[in-house]
Amino acid sequence: MIDTSQLILPDDLRYGEDHEWARLEGDKVRVGISDYAQQQLGDITFVELPNVGDSFEKGQQFGAVESTKAVSDLFMPIGGEILEVNQAIRETPELVNQAPYGGGWMILVKPTRVDEFDELMTKDAYRDMVGRTE
């Protein structure tokens, strides 16, 4: 049981149902997992990331994040092509715990449809969703 009011959820991000976040950066979208997701997983020990150039649709699995507790699939909050993956978290997966919205980002995407970004949840809607599942 967690106190959802204590979750760090930046204003400028949008959130997906599978606990990924998305940040619009010009015409690109950066993606990671939320503070809630990293807390639930516990210490992250390994992140499996896609190759640059791969394309996925919204909702498709693009990788997996592994913690001392479990392995969880990572899903695209928005469809598009992988432009960059965060090499740093391959070497230092604990960055995802330490800075889920910063150094722990996962992929940079060139979206197929930018309007998919607007369909994602705001932080308040996401906080409500987490509150309902807790």
**For residues 97 and 76, what is the distance between their CA atoms, to the nearest angstrom?**
20
**For residues 69 and 102, what is the distance between their CA atoms, to the nearest angstrom?**
23
- Are 69 and 76 in contact by the 8 Å Cβ rule? The answer is no
**For residues 95 and 13, what is the distance between their CA atoms, to the nearest angstrom?**
19
Q: Which residues bind other proteins (CB under 8 A)?
A: 42-43, 45-46, 48, 64, 66, 68-69, 71, 91, 94, 97
83: alpha, beta or left, given left = phi > 0 and alpha = psi -120 to 50? alpha
